[in-house]
Amino acid sequence: MTAKLQLRALVPGFQNDMDDLPDQATKKMVLDMLVLIRDGKVTGVKLDSRVDTGDLGDCYKFYFDPNGSGKPRYRLVYRYTPDELHAVAVEAVAVGRRANLDAYRRAIANLGRE
């Protein structure tokens, strides 16, 4: 049996991102998505290095929207990291709107890669 992954957040950056979300439904959906990712029930798309956003090659993106209709308006950026016991943890890096690459710009800032 595989050990359950740990769930972590880049603080204070990720907390600031959560605080900037428009409502409780969106914030709750972020937490729900992180649990699904941690439990291996959903997987995002691997990111890479882009001129517009910088190097996020160690991260994944996951689209979501509490509205549930139309194109999802938000992105969650996360990565898998080893913890001190050599197990793997899911680390929440950033969350923000898809528009204007907001979530990616937050991720670069939260990771200190500006």
Beta bridge partners of 49: 55
Backbone φ, ψ for residue 45 (5° rounding):
-100, 135
15-19, 33-37, 47-51, 85-89: which range is least confident on average?
85-89
Selected residue with higher pLDDT from 96 and 7: 96
pTM: 0.90
Rounded mean pLDDT of the chain? 89
Tell me, what DSSP letter sits at residue 85?
A: T
| pLDDT of amino acid 94 | 97
Over pLDDT 70: what percentage of the chain? Answer: 93
